[in-house]
Amino acid sequence: MDQVELSVIIPVFNTEKYFKRCIESVINSIKKVNIKSEIIVINDGSTGNINEIIEEYISKYENQIRYVSQLNRGRGASRNVGILESKGKYISFVDSDDYIDENMYIKMFSKILDEKSDIVICDFENIDYDNPKENFRLEAKNVNIKDNKWGCFDVLIMPSCCNKIIKKELFSGISFPEHINYEDLATIPLLLLKAKHISYINEMLYKYVQNKNSVMHEKFNLNQLNLIDALDIIFDRIDGLSEPIDVKEKAQYMLFTRRYYENLLENIMNCENKEILIEKFCDKIKILQKKMYKNYYFKKQISSQGFIKKIGNRLLYKAIQNNNYKLLEHYLKKSIYYKFFAIRYTSIDC
């Protein structure tokens, strides 16, 4: 039997409204590539009529589509099941409320064949059906960094697994966490660091649809502090690599800095009732924060922002480490935070 080259994993949870568009785009894209492939659909405890829709596609493409139905366990578990079920040399993930360009797989597999890539990465097109004029490109590589590995590492959308084709062997001994959101953040950076060769295509081949009902569009709440849990996991995983300490610190700095200020502190600042959030945030971030204040790149970044920001961040550090919730609440006022504490992220030389 011929080797399956590509396994496309589609987790589904209450997205029957979008599923046909998603799977049709995958089928049409696969048709253009002369490789043996499979589509694995994981129904993660959806309600509604998704079973009937999936069965309809299985009847048309019975030799190409495999179906797994399970009780709701979350995206991380669905992706892990898909990996375990997969027979392909390479893996692609597509979220069931998104879709892909018809040329995505032929272009990305051409890269794999030409460059013997472990991972191929493309840009996103951010799709807003309510406001089509608001559609925009999400670049998957920092254009200021020539090297593909660090260039693709140093962007905010880096953790997504959906704009990538990944060699399955990179997942050996690695799975997505199943108990938190941000499971991609806890996993994908490690694969990028393990990969020997990464290719990048500067085209919007993955269509990321703004679904207002998705987990990632929830109002900021205690559940969003799982971001810190994901950072804890990926930091431990990076520490376990046999890479030089410089490489590990560089990766951890890139992962932490934007998310600490933009995704955590700024979101907490903009919440109306921040008391409980601040308390839980302090509890969760302490160990990670202490580690980062020993990180060469993080310290260099703070110092580069000027004397006021350097002193401000030392005060911020002490407030968190000492559980000074009231003082931290005071710091997280817009007029104070942006002047004394907020760090503007800049790329480091790679």
Yes or no: say if 271 and 220 are a contact pair by the CB < 8 Å rule: yes
Domain boundaries, the chain: 6-217, 222-340
Side-chain-side CA neighbours of 41 within 13 Å: the count stands at 32
**Quick one: how far is CA 207 from the chain centroid?**
15
How many CB atoms neighbour CB 87 within 10 A?
A: 16
pLDDT of residue 133: 75
> Is the entire prediction scored with pTM above 0.85?
yes
pLDDT digits (tens, 9 = 90+) for 279-310: 999 999 999 999 999 999 999 999 999 999 99
pLDDT of residue 98: 97
Q: What is the fold, at CATH topology level, of the domain defined by 6-217?
A: Spore Coat Polysaccharide Biosynthesis Protein SpsA; Chain A (3.90.550)
pLDDT of residue 216: 53
Task: From 347, 282, 288, select the one nearest 316 (Cα to Cα).
Answer: 282
With H, G, I as helix, E, B as strand and everything else as coil, classify residue 119. Answer: strand
Yes or no: say if 254 and 147 are a contact pair by the CB < 8 Å rule: no
Query: What CA dihedral angle connects 291, 292, 295 and 301, to 10 degrees?
Result: -170
pLDDT of residue 279: 96
pLDDT of residue 217: 57
Distance CA 19, CA 55 (A): 12
Beta bridge partners of 11: 42
pLDDT of residue 211: 72
Task: From 270, 271, 278, 284, select the one nearest 324 (Cα to Cα).
Answer: 278
pLDDT of residue 214: 56
C-beta pairs of 238-244 under 8 Å, 24+ apart in sequence: 238/189, 238/190, 238/193, 241/190, 241/193, 241/194, 243/193
pLDDT of residue 288: 97
Question: How far, CA to CA in Å, does 253 sit from each of 69, 306, 348?
Answer: 39, 19, 10
pLDDT digits (tens, 9 = 90+) for 98-148: 999 999 999 999 999 999 999 999 999 999 877 877 789 999 999 899 999
Q: Which residues of the chain have pLDDT under 70?
A: 1, 212-218, 349-350
Task: From 127, 75, 79, select the one nearest 99 (Cα to Cα).
Answer: 127
Yes or no: say if 87 and 38 are a contact pair by the CB < 8 Å rule: yes
